[in-house]
Structures are given as structure tokens and as C-alpha cells.
Amino acid sequence: MPETKVKKMLFILSKATLDNVYAAFIMANGARMEGIEAEIFFTFFGLEAINKEKLDHLHVATVGNPAMHMPTMLGGLPGMEAIATKMMKKEMEKLDMPPVGEFLEILSDSGVKLWACKLAVEMFHLEEKDLIDDLDGILTIGDFYNRADTEDTHMLFV
Amino acid sequence: MNVERNEEGYLKDFSQWTKEIGTEIAKENDIEMTDKHWEVITYLQDKFKNEDALSIRGIKKSGIINIKEFYALFPKGPLKVSTKIAGIPKPKSCI
């Protein structure tokens, strides 16, 4: 089997819904497991995934998500998001998928660089102490582009 | 090396595995085996014999090695490389 040509994967995570966060995390971890470098840039609502106070309370979206197969009106009822989130977390636990906090530890230990977006940090009035200890730093998007410093680097927006 | 391997270099039959074969496969992957490497290999083989699925989270909980050390010992895809050396199939899990 030929070696992959991809050398580095850069992810931009802009959403805090559980499904998007896990998609980015699984792809970043999967890259490292294949010997590919990986970095994640957390911006806008994606910042919640590295916000100490918020990261263990992320939800799946039940409104505006046609794959939930649920009328939008129902999805908007109080408690629906909590139920859907609980169900999804249970299924993920069965697959031995770690919770967000533990997943971040695994990513950091695996050598995935974790960056917060400077503009979004300022917009949400956050400080470095609000964010996880494993964070590698706060960058501008320009700084992040400069991380694409090797050939065969790919960038993905989640 | 007188063993059957698949196109990715994994042993087709674990019962054919010996430490010498493991050492050879490690060399192909530019890894010089140490006691710590073998400790991990034994752990992986025990898991395989018990039919436990392998994952990076499992490594974290193994008590044998932490994830940072695991990547340091087996760079370029630690589970992929270490299972190959251990003579067991490539893990199918996405995590």
C-alpha cells in the first residue's frame, strides 16, 4: 500500500455543536495515527470546545438539522436538545469515544497543535485562563496560514 | 523473512510470529527495539489474544505507557506500526 502524500492537516473548527466538534477531533486524531501532522484552529463558536467552563456541556443541534428526522417545531421544545445529546453521548461511549475534555488531552498528547483565534477570543471577551491548559497559543488567521509551511498541507473548515 | 504477510506488511497468521520477526519488521520501520518497546508489544498481543479492540484511548488507560511516549517509541502512526511489529492485524477503529 503506498504511503499517503498528505503531510499535514490544518483544521478550522468554527462550530460548537457536538457532531462538528467530534468530526474535527476524529479527523485530527486519525491524521496523527497515520503519521500525518495535525493542528486545529478554534474560531467563533468553535472556541466553546476549548473553553474550560463550556467544553463538557456541548450539545447536538436539534433545530435546523434535517438528519435528526424530527419536525423543527418539536426540536425546539425545551429539553429536546438535552435528550438528543444524552442519546448521542451514550452511543459514543459504546464506541469508546472519549468525552470532549479527555479527547483534547489525547489530541495534545498525540502532538496535535491546538490554537485559539485571536479575533474570536477578543470578540467573546475571553482570556487565556478561560481556555484549556493544553492550548498551544492564540493566533491570528495570518499566523495560522503560516503554519501551512510544508508541501502537501491541506486545510479543512468544519 | 519466511512468513506470510499481506500487502501492507502485516502478518497473516499471528502464530507464525517470533521476536526475531518482530525485530526485523521494526528495522523495516527504522525502529530499534528496546525493553520498553517489547513491553508495549506484549501488551498489544495480550489484547489481541483477549479479542479486545485497540484504540488510542485504550493505550492511555493501559497503565503501560502514556500517549506521548507511545508516539515517541513508534513515530509515523504508532498503532499502525506497533501492531505490525507485534504480528497482529491493523486496528480497524477510527479512534
Residue-by-residue DSSP string for A35-101: T-EEEEEE-GGGGGGGBTTTGGG-----SS-GGG-S-HHHHTSTTHHHHHHHHHHHHHHHTTPPPHH
CB contacts < 8 A (A, B): 47
Query: Which of A1-15, A62-76, B78-92 shows the lowest per-residue confidence on average (mean pLDDT)?
Result: A62-76
Share the mean pLDDT of chain A. 92
| A38 touches A112 (CB < 8 A) | yes
* Model pLDDT, residue A2: 62
Tell me the backbone φ, ψ of residue A48, rounded to 5 degrees. Answer: -60, -30
pLDDT interval class at A73 (50, 70, 90) = confident
Contact A106 B71 (CB under 8 A): no
Give yes or no for residue A9 having a pLDDT over 60.
Answer: yes
Tell me whether strands A37-42 and A113-117 are parallel, antiparallel or unpaired.
parallel
Nearest C-alpha of chain B: how many angstroms from A123?
Answer: 33
Interval B77-94 mean pLDDT: 92
Cell of B81: 506500526
Nearest C-alpha of chain B: how many angstroms from A152?
Answer: 16
Q: What is the CATH number of domain A8-157?
A: 3.40.1260.10
pLDDT interval class at A52 (50, 70, 90) = very high
Residue in chain B lying closest to A102 (CA): B57
Q: Is A137 on the interface with B (CB under 8 A)?
A: no
The proportion of chain A whose per-residue pLDDT surpasses 90, expressed as a percent, equals: 71
| B8 touches B14 (CB < 8 A) | no
* Model pLDDT, residue B93: 77
| A72 touches A78 (CB < 8 A) | no
Contact B57 A95 (CB under 8 A): no
**Residue where the block lists cell 429536546:** A80
Nearest C-alpha of chain A: how many angstroms from B76?
Answer: 4
* Model pLDDT, residue A1: 54
Q: Is B22 on the interface with A (CB under 8 A)?
A: no
Interval A2-8 mean pLDDT: 84
pLDDT interval class at A117 (50, 70, 90) = very high
**At a CB cut-off of 8 Å and minimum separation 6, what does B26 contact?**
B32, B33, B37, B85
Interval B42-47 mean pLDDT: 96
Interval B39-68 mean pLDDT: 94
* Model pLDDT, residue B84: 97
Confirm whether B94 is a catalytic residue: yes
